[in-house]
Amino acid sequence: MVQVTLLDGIFQESQETGKGYLLHLDVDRLIAPCYEAASLQPKKPRYGGWESTPIAGHSVGHWLSAASAMVAATGDEALLQKLIYAVDELAYVQSHDPDGYLSGFSRDCFDRVFTGDFEVHNFGLGGSWVPWYSIHKIYAGLIDAYKLAGIEQALQAVVKLSDWAKKGTDRLTDEQFQRMLICEHGGMNEAMADLYLLTGNRAYLELAIRFCHQAILEPLARGVDELEGKHANTQIPKVIGAAKLYEITGKETYRKAAEFFWQEVTRNRSYIIGGNSIFEHFRARGTEKLGVETAETCNTYNMLKLTSHLFRWSPDAEYMDFYERALYNHILASQDPDSGMKMYFVSTEPGHFKVYGSPDQSFWCCTGTGMENPARYTHEIYHAQQDAVYVNLFIGSRAVFEDREVVIRQETDFPRTDRTRLVLEEAQDARFKLRIRIPYWAAGMVTAVVSGSETYTGSGRDYLEIERNWNAGDTIEVTLPMDLHIYRAKDDEQKVGFMYGPVVLAGALGRDRFPENDIVDNHLKLHHHPLIDVPVLVTDEPDIKKWIIPVEGSVLTFVTDPIGEPGSSRVTLIPFYALHHQRYTIYWKLMNKQEYERYTDHEKAERERLNAITVDVVSPHEQQSEVEHDIQSQESRSGYSVHAQKGYRDAVNGGYFRYRMAVMPDKPMALQVTYFGSDGVAHVDGVRMERDFEILVDGKVIARQQLKAENPDQLFDMLYDIPIELTSGKRNVEVKFESTAGKIAGGVYGIRLVDRDRMEQWEGKA
């Protein structure tokens, strides 16, 4: 058992900011949806954003976990009292359901599911939006309130809630249960495994095993990568639960699935900052596509949890190298140090900026995990085994190792310095191995000097080991040589980033054409904000240390030689975690002078064109894009085409799908729809169907489309003009794709409403 407290430094400052947001939030408003779901009058109105949708209640669960962890990390009494009140309130609400149900939405959807006859798709179950995912946050929050804050009533509440789940799911066959798991369900297997460990009740262990989604875990256990196109954060909690079940049962298939998944994601599907996914989904392995909607913060929160499990099984430095990269460059970087607001996506689009949620009107999934992150900064700094203590992270902190009566204090200003000092505050002839991580980025030998006399050195991705009898007053002065190094994208040698030690350096690009506010209620609001030109770095010198120069008197600040083209500009680089409220890039085009002479960035030009002409866009099959455009559908399916490398949606046999999309009133508008050229006649349930459908805007047919597989293996766009009377005086319209009996509408791979005037202006430029 290790109790860690942060000392002065960037993480302690961020922890205080995060704690301030937890104290700011009104528990009565967070719990209001739970009152309403139980047909009770809430004490205060619910919050806005996602808390005003059918996913309501997930935020109070995240808040419980965050507050519990923060109380454990800081001992804050005011937050503890607020946490006790929240658990009391939830228990009161729960007392009004005879079966112990407790959530922020009606139990009707679960009652339908428990009959065995239910509708399910990736993000919908029994007519509700990801109900298990949402209620899982309350399970986890109550478990954390008991485990981390010692609130007995929290355990009583989660036991009742789990007994309700067990009773209901016992009515499902294994086939029905696995079908139910098609819909995102969070970490329900982990929660039930945790509850088994707390209570010893094997019914919860059995339920944890049933909540393992075999369609995902079984291929992973065989070392088969089927991740492309899958919603990333739907899968990571499933694997965390499998890891916990390995620790309980010793079943090797759980371990194999977890280890293979971690390797595939961290080595083949992650960005420079340690985050993963674009538009919330995994792309093909070995790709690193840039964009505004990359690196969902929830994913990295969960990848750090998974990494902790794997490190406990095998304390390999690679795990902590990843943990450090993601912690500094994604998690720490995703909280606004001024307001405490959180980020959903971390944009990798050159010239974009960080977008934060609002205090009361967002409550995205990443707002929830973002509440938890600052309370988790103490995790994995140290790790204790029977004969060893590991120093994994170089963060100012004090660690109490209760089982061996040892206290270690780490004094450091890392990464602003390349040194850390370990002080044995308490120890009495305590013999153990002290293992200090030698990071992959070390630019020379790592040295450790014990009490000014004994020197130890090490290199390579490993741990420097010092075994001796330790006593109070012993010190270890550690030097971790850092230097600039280059990161090359997995899919393009010319697409690079720059790092100093573990720190990603971002180009600080100023506030040209910056939005009025980067704290917004809707994370999509600024996705099409105008970009700026980002210079291409052009040099024949391969050694970056000859043209990236430290700025004298400014720690961790660098400036390039005048190699930014066009214009021979200099660029300032600062830690990405310290960059806020201005434009940036963390990826650059780097080429020599001959390559630059031949260079034309067609991809960039197309992004600029689309950004300029787009009024609104829907990405079919992508949860947030569809939900936030109020998708309505009947006899409709969505999926991911490995051949097209894109998600799609279609409808069959008289079915339809429709979205509410923004328009510019009284301006000529057009609808651009993306199709896949290999789509033609298909067989649905053994019936031959043609792709022949109508496209409607606010109930009026604007086009009829047939797809006959006339453009094999390529995506293509069709443009449909919208009569101006259909948009006159309106801010949004309904766009509908409708099939008839025996026909298919779609597949549709993208939907974009464009400004006709701007489109013609761009065509004129071309």
Residues 246 and 301 grouped into a single domain: yes
Distance in angstroms (rounded) separating the CA atoms of residues 343 and 519: 9
Q: How far apart are CA 328 and CA 300, in angstroms?
A: 11
Starting at the edge strand found earlier in the chain, the sheet holding 2-6 runs: 2-6, 397-401, 406-412, 419-426, 475-479, 446-450, 454-458
Query: Which pLDDT score, from 0 to 100, does residue 63 have?
Result: 98
At 106 the pLDDT is 96
Looking at the fold, whether 422 and 469 belong to one and the same domain comes out as yes
Total domains in the chain come to: 5
| pLDDT over threshold 60, residue 557 | yes
User: In whole angstroms, what is the distance from residue 649 CA to residue 402 CA?
Assistant: 56
Cα dihedral 239, 243, 249, 255 sign:
positive
Q: Are 739 and 759 in contact (CB under 8 A)?
A: no
Rounded mean pLDDT of 716-744? 94
pLDDT at 323 over 90: yes
Rounded to an integer, what distance in angstroms lies between the CA atom of residue 89 and that of residue 80?
Answer: 14
Beta-ladder partners of 585: 507
Q: Exposure of 476 by Cβ count < 10 A (0-12 exposed, 13-18 middle, 19+ buried)?
A: buried
> Which region among 9-23, 318-332, 480-494, 675-689 has the lowest average model confidence (pLDDT)?
675-689
418/623: higher pLDDT:
418
Contact status, residue 449 vs residue 481, Cβ threshold 8 Å? no
- Paired tokens of 266: 């961290």
In a domain, 373, yes or no: no
Place 607 in a pLDDT band, splitting at 50, 70 and 90: confident
- From 450, 479, 508, give the residue that closes a domain: 479
Residue from 461, 414, 440 nearest 577 by CA = 414
Supply the CATH number for residue 731's domain.
2.60.120.260
Residues 55 and 115 in one domain: yes
Q: How many CB atoms lie within 10 A of CB 500?
A: 21
pLDDT band at residue 702 using 50, 70 and 90 as cut-offs: very high
Alpha helices in 170-212 (DSSP H): 174-180, 188-199, 202-210
Please count the other Cβ atoms lying within 10 Å of the Cβ belonging to residue 18.
23
Residues 485, 453: Cα–Cα separation, whole Å:
32
H or E segment at 219? helix 214-221
Give percent of the chain with pLDDT exceeding 90.
89
Q: Write out the H or E segment, with its range, that includes residue 6.
A: strand 2-6
C-alpha torsion 41→47→50→51, nearest 10? -20
Q: Estimate the share of the chain in helix, then strand, then coil, as percent rounded to the nearest 5.
A: 35, 30, 35
Kindly state whether residues 322 and 430 are assigned to the same domain: no
Q: What pLDDT, on a 0 to 100 scale, did the predictor assign at position 542?
A: 96
Is residue 633, in this structure, part of any structural domain at all?
Answer: yes
What pLDDT, on a 0 to 100 scale, did the predictor assign at position 641?
83
Q: What's the pLDDT at 236?
A: 98
170-193 exposure pattern, b = at least 16 Cβ within 10 A, e = fewer: eebeeebbebbbbbbbbbbbbbbb
Q: Which of 580, 615, 558 is nearest to 752 (CA)?
A: 615
**Residue labelled with tokens 């455009």:** 629
- What is the spatial distance between Cα 707 and Cα 691, in angstroms, rounded to a whole number? 5
Rounded Cα distance, 626 and 88, in Å:
36
CB 587 within 8 A of CB 350: yes
Same domain, 66 and 198: yes
pLDDT of residue 332: 98
CA 487 – CA 349 distance, rounded (Å):
16
- Note whether residue 340 is domain-resident: no
| 618 and 714, same domain (yes or no) | yes
Q: How far apart are CA 41 and CA 337, in angstroms?
A: 36
What is the token pair recorded at 151?
């609130």
Stretch 634-644: mean pLDDT, rounded? 86
Q: Sorting pLDDT into bands at 50, 70 and 90, what band is 749?
A: very high
Q: How far is CA 580 from CA 348, 416, 699, in A?
A: 14, 18, 44
| CA atoms within 13 Å, Cβ hemisphere of 263 | 12
CATH of the domain at 325: 1.50.10.20
Q: Are 507 and 571 in contact (CB under 8 A)?
A: yes
What's the pLDDT score for residue 735?
97
Sorting pLDDT into bands at 50, 70 and 90, what band is 434? very high
| pLDDT tens column, 570-606 | 999 999 999 999 999 999 999 999 999 888 777 777 7
Do 433 and 518 sit in the same domain of this protein?
no
Write the CA distances from 298 to 234, 277, 369, 534, 581, integer angstroms.
10, 11, 6, 28, 21
Residue appearing with tokens 């140090």: 337
Is 217 among the domain residues? yes
Q: What is the domain range of residue 216?
A: 212-334
Residue of 202, 182, 184 whose CA lies nearest to 192: 202
Query: CA–CA separation, 639 vs 746, rounded Å?
Result: 12
Q: Is residue 365 part of a domain?
A: no
Residue 697, helix vs strand vs coil = strand
In sequence order, the β-bridge partners of residue 692 are 706
Q: Do both 192 and 259 map to the same domain?
A: no
- pLDDT tens-digit series, residues 476-494: 999 999 999 999 999 999 9
Q: Is 352 helix (H, G, I), strand (E, B) or coil?
A: coil
Preceding omega of 374 cis (within 30 degrees of 0):
no
Q: Is 185 helix (H, G, I), strand (E, B) or coil?
A: coil
Confidence tier at 390 by pLDDT (50, 70, 90): very high
pLDDT in the model for residue 180: 98
Strand partners, 489: 492
Does residue 354 form part of some domain? no
696-701's contacts with Cβ under 8 Å and 24+ in sequence apart are 696/658, 696/734, 696/735, 696/736, 696/737, 696/738, 697/671, 697/722, 697/726, 697/733, 697/734, 697/735, 697/736, 698/726, 698/730, 698/733, 698/734, 699/734, 699/736, 700/726
Pairing mode, strands 750-755 and 430-438: unpaired
Beta-strand pair 430-438/388-391: parallel
On the question of pLDDT at 533 being above 70, the answer is: yes
Distance (Å, whole) CA 363 – CA 523: 10
Note the pLDDT of residue 766. Answer: 55
Let me know whether 45 and 186 are in one domain: yes
d(CA 705, CA 223): 42
Domain boundary among 464, 479, 494: 479
Q: Do 262 and 310 lie in a common domain? A: yes
Tokens of 656: 């339809």
**Which of 437, 463, 479 lies at the terminal end of a domain, its last residue?**
479
Cα 218 to its chain centre, rounded Å, is 24
Q: Which amino acid is at 686?
A: G
* 549 plus 630 within the same structural domain: no
* Residues above pLDDT 70, as percent of the chain: 99
pLDDT at position 137: 98
The enclosing H or E element of 752 equals strand 750-755
What CATH number should be reported for the domain holding residue 415? Answer: 2.60.40
623 versus 167: the higher-pLDDT residue is 167
The verdict on 185 and 305 lying in the same domain is: no
| C-beta neighbour count of 606 within 10 angstroms | 10
In contact, 673 and 751? CB cutoff 8 Å: yes
Q: Give the pTM.
A: 0.89
Distance CA 16, CA 276 (A): 27
The identity of residue 210, as a single letter, is R
pLDDT of residue 765: 63
Inter-CA distances, 651 with 345, 615, 626, Å = 30, 25, 15
In a domain, 150, yes or no: yes
Residue 375 lies in a domain: no
Locate tokens 């202006």: which residue? 761
Residue 648 has pLDDT above 70, yes or no: yes
Phi, psi of 237 (to 5 degrees): -60, -30
Contact 73, 375 (CB under 8 A): yes
